[in-house]
Structures are given as C-alpha cells and as structure tokens.
Amino acid sequence: MTDRAPARPRGTRSQGSAGVWYGVGAYGLWGVLPVYLAVLAPSGPWEIVAHRILWSGLFCVALLLLQRRFRAFLAAVRPPATAAALTLAGALIAVNWTGYVVAATSGRITEAALGYFLNPLVSIALGLAVLGERLRPGQWAAVAVGGAGALYLVVASGSPPWIALLLAFSFGAYGLVKKKTGVSLGAVESLSAETLVLAPVAVGLLVWCQVTGRATFGALGPGHAALLAGCGVVTAVPLLLFASAARRVTLVTIGLLQFIAPVLQFVMGLAMGEEMSPTRWIGFGIVWLAVCILVADTLVWANRMRRTRLREDDRLPA
C-alpha cells in the first residue's frame, strides 16, 4: 500500500504540456478565422465555401500521399456504412462552414461566437435525446440555462439567432454522426473523405459563380487568388493541431480549451465594429452563465474521478 499516488513520469507531463499548447493553437486559429475570411472580400460566401472544400481536400490528399497513407485511407473509407456516414458528416460540415462564412462576411461574427458557446450545450442535449445518455445535475442546469438564454434572444429580439443556432446544431449533429456510426478516422483522413464527397458540389458552385459573374478567383490578382487557395491550409492546420492535442490531453482539457475559439471570435466581432444591443448583452450573459455552470460541473466531475482513481490505486498491492 502506498500513502500517495505515484508521480507522473516526466515524459507524460511534457506530452500533456505539449498537448495543451497544440489545443491552444488549434482553437486560437479557429478563433481568428473570421479575420481571414473577411479579407477574402469581395468573394461571396458560396465561392469561399467551394474553395475551402476543394483546397482542403487537395491539401489533405497531398499529405496522405506524402506519408504513403493514401491506399490505407481508401481501404478505410470503402465499407458502405463508413462511406454513408462520411457523406452525411460531409453534408453537415458543409452546412456549418457555409453558416460560418456567411456570418464572417456579413458582419455577424458575434452571432457565430454565440453558436459555438451554445454548441457544447447542444451536444449534451443531443446525447440525451438521441443516445439516451444520462446527465449530471450540473449538465441539466447548464442546458436549461443555455436554452433560456436562446429563448430570451428569440423573444426579446423578435427573431431567432439563426446563424448561432445553425452553427450549434450542425456541428453538434456532425459530432453525433461520428459517435453514433463509430467512424474513427484520423483528422486528415476524415477531412479528406468529407471534402472528396463534397468536391462535385464545390465544382458545381464554382461553375455557377463563373456563369453568373460572381467568381473572383484570378480576377483580383494573384494575392487574392492565393488567399482563396490558402483556405485549404487554414482549414487543415487547426485540425491537425487539434488531433495532436487530443492524443496528449484528456477530454476534459479539450472541453475547456474549446471555449478559446468563441471568446476570440466574440472579441474579433467587437473589434471589427459589430454592435451589441442591451438585449443581446443580456442574452449572451445568460448563455455565458450556462457555460460557466458547465465548466464548473466538468471541473468538479474531473476532480472527483481523479480522487476515485487515486483511492483505487492506493488499494492495489505494492
């Protein structure tokens, strides 16, 4: 029997520290993405989404080819059930990207931030409704308060925050599809599959933009064209950082780090001149209270689990 838990190996500590920084990098880049998308003006949201799909797919496929993993990737996505799940996931992430680009290019970045503050609450609610998961009292309270905040915004402003709800539910449903179908590809493989599924739609959008005179790629100089092509790197790099973080830190840590992105998005929106009425401040405040309840519940639960593990370790024979 030991009187205290054994010290964590030095390598484990360094891995955890690196994982936190990878997570900060991933969510930090997602948080400042609105600035990049705003620079793409006067490109319209449909053209931006189409380029984001195509260049992301090309970037990820190039990575798979360089790492000699492309054949393994094709074998992994070949089963019909996996292909169907990835097709549905691709459709949901396309909806999410479209909503986000519309928000970033129409001066509604703070509303996009609201969507990502609501997202973990929506994910919990979907887990309850679809998967039958049991919620802790703190999670129930967070979902109830978050729902009250969204309802307040609807009643007080006279219309739902459509962008926020679209982002929260599309990304929540995206995670639900991955969990329910058991799709467990790596970040590069998953993004490759989802963008390849969407590639014909993206090509169709670009053709439509060209025919209707909305296309800007190449018409505004090489710098603007390079920025549109850079959507691939801008999309893939945070995902790679996130995958590196997820391998090194706990889900609790990832769950706490995820709020970096909407905080930065909210600050970016204010810095870019978006106005916040008193009604919106109150609504956001209620949602932030829900987030605080969720974070507090997560920390209490994680600490309780850690103490339980330590007690179990102490009972093991020396």
Q: Is residue 96 part of a domain?
A: yes
pLDDT at 8: 45
pLDDT of res. 313: 65
Asked if residue 165 belongs to a domain, the reply is yes
Question: In sequence order, which residues have a C-beta less than 8 Å from that of residue 26 and are 6 or more positions away?
Answer: 238, 239, 241, 242, 245, 257
pLDDT at residue 254, as a whole number? 85
**Residue 277 maps to a domain:** yes
The answer to whether position 77 is within a domain reads yes
Residue 195 in any domain: the answer is yes
Mean per-residue pLDDT for 104-109?
Answer: 92
Which tens digit of pLDDT belongs to each residue from 126-183? 888 888 888 899 999 999 999 999 999 999 888 889 999 999 999 999 988 888 776 6
Three-class HEC string of 247-258: HHCCHHHHHHHC
Residue 222 has pLDDT above 80, yes or no: yes
Residue 116 lies in a domain: yes
pLDDT at 4 over 90: no
Q: What is the mean pLDDT of residues 92-112?
A: 93
Q: How many domains does the chain have?
A: 1
The per-residue pLDDT for 317 is 60
Q: Is residue 51 part of a domain?
A: yes
DSSP string, 275-292: ---HHHHHHHHHHHHHHH
What range defines the domain where residue 139 resides? 17-315
Distances in whole angstroms, Cα of residue 201 to Cα of each of 125, 198, 206: 31, 5, 9
pLDDT of 284 over the 60 cut:
yes
Residue 3 forms part of a structural domain: no
**Taking the model in full, what pTM does it have?**
0.87
d(C-alpha 308, C-alpha 304), whole Å:
6
pLDDT band at 5 (very low <50, low <70, confident <90, very high): very low
Q: Calculate the average pLDDT of the chain.
A: 88
- Amino acid making up residue 27: Y
